[in-house]
Copies of this chain bind each other. A is one copy, B any other.
């Protein structure tokens, strides 16, 4: 497999979502950290530790999927030195469905610089079931 260099955390994140959109396991494998600390929590799921378990989970997901439509929006983040944290809102839906059919997912993505490339080290995704990100004040929640 060819070594891929991602110059910025943003480039790594874009490749991560491109891999999902293209159900591209090779690209997904190149996105993730080789440093032994890959951690992934799919929505509603438990913790996957280590790159082999993480990549196997994506293999399972991709083998049962058609390429979806996925969009993501950066919300907020932090960065210092060789680590970046990015909170994003994802919207994912099957192709040929309208935008309002999309599932919203909130994800905390964490990137580490490994040598000259940034890699994904953590992807923690969850489904917001009871309120909407656009309404941050608790008194506006639906419940």
Contacts and interface: CB of A to CB of B under 8 A. Distances in A.
A37 B78 CA distance: 8
Contacts of A136: 46-50, 53
B45 A129 contact: yes
A48 B87 CA distance: 12
Interface residues on A, range: 35 or more
A99 interface: no
Interface string A59-75: 01000000000000001
B75 A47 contact: yes
Contacts of A37: 76, 78
Interface stretch (A5-13, A17-25, A90-98, A105-113): A105-113
A133 B45 CA distance: 8
Interface of A: 37, 39, 41, 43-50, 53, 56-57, 60, 75-76, 78-83, 85, 87, 89, 106, 108, 110, 112, 121-122, 124-133, 135-139, 141
